[in-house]
Amino acid sequence: MSVKNEAELAALKRVGRVVADTLQTMLAAARPGITTRELDQIGEDHFRKFGAVSAPKLTYNFPGATCISVNHEAAHGIPGKRKLKRGDLVNIDVSLELDGYFADTGATTVIEPANAQLTDLVNASREILHNTVQSMRAGSPLNQIGRMIEQQARTRGYSVIKNLAGHGVGRALHEEPYDIVNYYNPRDKRKASRGLTLAIETFISTGANFVVQEADGWTLTTPDKSYVAQFEHSLVITDGEPIVLTA
């Protein structure tokens, strides 16, 4: 969507705040022995207090309130009986609807004790997202996003997942502009306009460039068993620094 007035911006900020708070609540609860279903329930209990609804469940009938992906799962992991263990790489993706507006965020963490390789991967993905988000202005080419993500990942010795992407958000979980990829696409001539609401995601990989869908019809994994760290923010484009709704 494109924000047209202060009321729309205020509504986006409200849902963005609940999304961000839910993510932080879940990250704080991620510990050895907790199941991903229990972690999902903690998130749902939190956001329901504000009247928010799970966006993946609402939009796609996803079998969980949030997506929780572990180790070689890159995205769309279904909460279940799996217990988190020390050293696990865990991605939590939270997207919610509140009063007709949507916001989307995600973060990856390592259950302590963390090894240096996974810690570096997580830090790289987080920093790459921050740098990319802060670079966006009205008039910026949308393919600047993929160019920055890919260049920064390569500089750090990592790959990017090419069949997962950011997207427009606001009045729906996924809307125009679609396919904001993690690599440079010279054919993409779109530009960011003032008020445009985006969800930018970094999918930084220790090996794979593509993910495959598992038999459950949802979970996306790396075929070579490499690791992926995802971070995501929803933001509104302005003439200056963007408004990060899920900060």
Residues 78-90 have pLDDT tens digits of: 999 999 999 999 9
Q: How much is the pTM?
A: 0.97
| Cβ 1 vs Cβ 85: under 8 Å | no
What is the 8-class DSSP label of residue 206?
Answer: S
What mean pLDDT is predicted for residues 11-16? Answer: 98
State the DSSP string of 176-203. EEEEEESS--TT---BPPTTBEEEEEEE
- Calculate the average pLDDT of the chain: 98
What is the 8-class DSSP label of residue 42?
Answer: H
What mean pLDDT is predicted for residues 233-244? Answer: 98
State the DSSP string of 68-112. EEETTEEE-PPP-SPBP-TT-EEEEEEEEEETTEEEEEEEEEEPS
How many residues does the structure list for the chain? 247
Grouping H, G, I as helix, E, B as strand and the rest as coil, residue 13 is helix
The partner residues of 230 in beta bridges, in order of sequence, read: 203
pLDDT tens, residue by residue, 109-138:
999 998 999 999 999 999 999 999 999 999
What mean pLDDT is predicted for residues 2-15? Answer: 98
